[in-house]
Amino acid sequence: MSADGSSSTWRERLASPLTWHVAGFAVLLVLAIVLAVRLGLDWAAMNSNSGDVLAGKQIQLKALEIQTAPLRGLDQRVEKSRQQIDAFYKKRIPPDYSLISTRIGELAVSSGVRLSRVQYAQGKPGSALTEISMDAGISGDYRAIMHFMNSLERDQIFFIIRGMSLTGQQGGLVNLRLRVSTWLRPADAAASGLPMAPSPGDESPNAAAPGKEGE
């Protein structure tokens, strides 16, 4: 076959609609494959990112649940605490100074100790309570003094023993200086007429606190 015949054959094929259809189909097929691969990659990336975002949101939600857990039921706990405080005040905070003095005297008599130089003073008024301090000499045998101490700490009126120091001893008789605190509501403390207690720096170790004399 001559060169002119081959060239003519290629020209005929190129001019043939079938050839262009095949070429067009091949191009479209390549484009379809490229787009399918790209779509698959994008879909995988989107799923991966969505999973990461979802995991991050779940972690944030869990963290918020942990942070807010102590606040759940807070209103009920606050109300319960308020009721407990009110019950404590009614049961263990005396309504006036005279009840404090009377009760300490009763405990001393029942324990078999003797109180002397009993003086009372009040601290700075607080928003809810005002401290009432007692400074007194106490004498008796060791067993009676320990009974008195235990009775103070277990009494229905809220007493706290702040301190005690030995001031003398003769035979089986022990002499101590005793400091005790209790509390009154501010209005009741103001009505008691007790003087203000000195600050710790103003009070010498052997000085009695100013106030009303007891026994």
Predicted confidence pLDDT, tens digits, the chain (215 residues):
455 555 566 566 555 666 666 667 677 777 777 777 777 766 666 655 666 666 777 777 777 777 777 777 777 877 888 888 888 888 899 999 899 999 999 999 999 999 999 999 999 888 889 999 999 999 999 999 999 999 999 999 999 999 989 888 888 899 999 999 999 999 998 888 888 876 544 444 344 434 454 44
List Cβ neighbours of 148 (8 Å cut-off, separation of 6 or more). 107, 108, 111, 113, 138, 140
- Whether the CB-CB separation of 215 and 117 falls below 8 Å is answered with no
| Bridge partners of residue 178, in order along the sequence | 136, 164
**Domain locations along the chain:** 3-65, 94-202
User: Residue 163 corresponds to which tokens in the numbers above?
Assistant: 């301190």
Pick the CATH number of 94-202 from 3.30.56.10, 3.30.70.60, 3.20.20.70, 3.40.50.360: 3.30.70.60
Classify residue 196 by its DSSP letter: B
List, in order, residues 6 or more apart from 92 with CB less than 8 Å away. 156, 157, 158
